[in-house]
Amino acid sequence: MEKLLVTGAAGGVGTRLRKLMKGLYPSIRWSDLRKPGDLAGDEDFMAADLADLAAVEKIVAGVEGIVHLGGYSVEGPWDTILQANIVGTYNLFEAARRAGVKRVVFASSNHAVGFYPRDKRIGINVPVRPDSRYGVSKAFGEALGALYAEKHGIRVTCLRIGNVGDAPADRRRLAIWLKPEDLVALIRIGLEHPHIRYEIFYGVSDNADSWWDNSNARRYGYQPQGKAGDSLHQAMAAQAALPPDPIGDRYQGGPFCSDEYDTGKAR
């Protein structure tokens, strides 16, 4: 990869990646709706609204690979999710097709499968069970990536990201924590591995309590370095301070599942 585009540059994950990916590729263009406040003078940045196809075509022009982090990163109103995550992701893939982009790494989410119970270990081949409108948008992005891989030959990797941070912040995140450096490793597999066509990986570190079978990522050489268990005591202490959540504590998606939940006790 000589020239790379990364969307979502101003977000929490994008801000980390701007530091961790510095120097990994000859040229990285960063984009977001607004310019990050901590942008360095040597960073190439172009602002764009993902819901505007013409603007997306401008930021995609001339790049070989894309890491698509951009969009609305939590649950929100349908119109917000629709424009930022569904229309925006379509525009990203369509602009990539028109520009001849070779590879796209799509930041999917654990919330595409959030309604699986915590006592069930799942792999990549289970049906999606989104826990929110946000999760629906990520399931849509995975499906869209498959279409553009099969029909148009873009090499697509979807990362069902758990939770990126310095350490797991509670019991749930002991299972889904992703060390930032491990995220970089997954991105590099998606951008560089010669045999990628369309793949789904879980964005998770080497966590003993993980709910996910990530053997597909390991098959491509993923060797995560982070271990959530190293922060077990801190995570459990933080968990003790949280209020009980009978629905969220049952499912992998946590509070995304209990938010707006009105199925009733009969379920």
Q: Which residues contact 122 (CB under 8 A, 6 or more apart)?
A: 113, 116, 211, 212, 213
pLDDT confidence of residue 267:
46
pLDDT confidence of residue 169:
94
Domain that holds residue 198: 3-258
pLDDT along the chain (267 residues), means of 10: 96 96 96 92 95 98 98 97 98 98 98 98 98 98 98 98 97 98 98 98 97 98 97 96 95 97 71
Q: Could you tell me if residue 266 is inside a domain?
A: no
Environment class of residue 167 by beta-carbon count within 10 Å: exposed (0-12), middle (13-18) or buried (19+)? middle
Q: Could you tell me if residue 120 is inside a domain?
A: yes
H helix or E strand, kind and range, residue 219: helix 215-219
pLDDT confidence of residue 265:
56
Q: Could you tell me if residue 69 is inside a domain?
A: yes
Active site residues: 134
Residue of 217, 209, 213 lying closest to 123 (CA atoms) = 213
- Structural domains of the chain, count: 1
Q: Could you tell me if residue 264 is inside a domain?
A: no
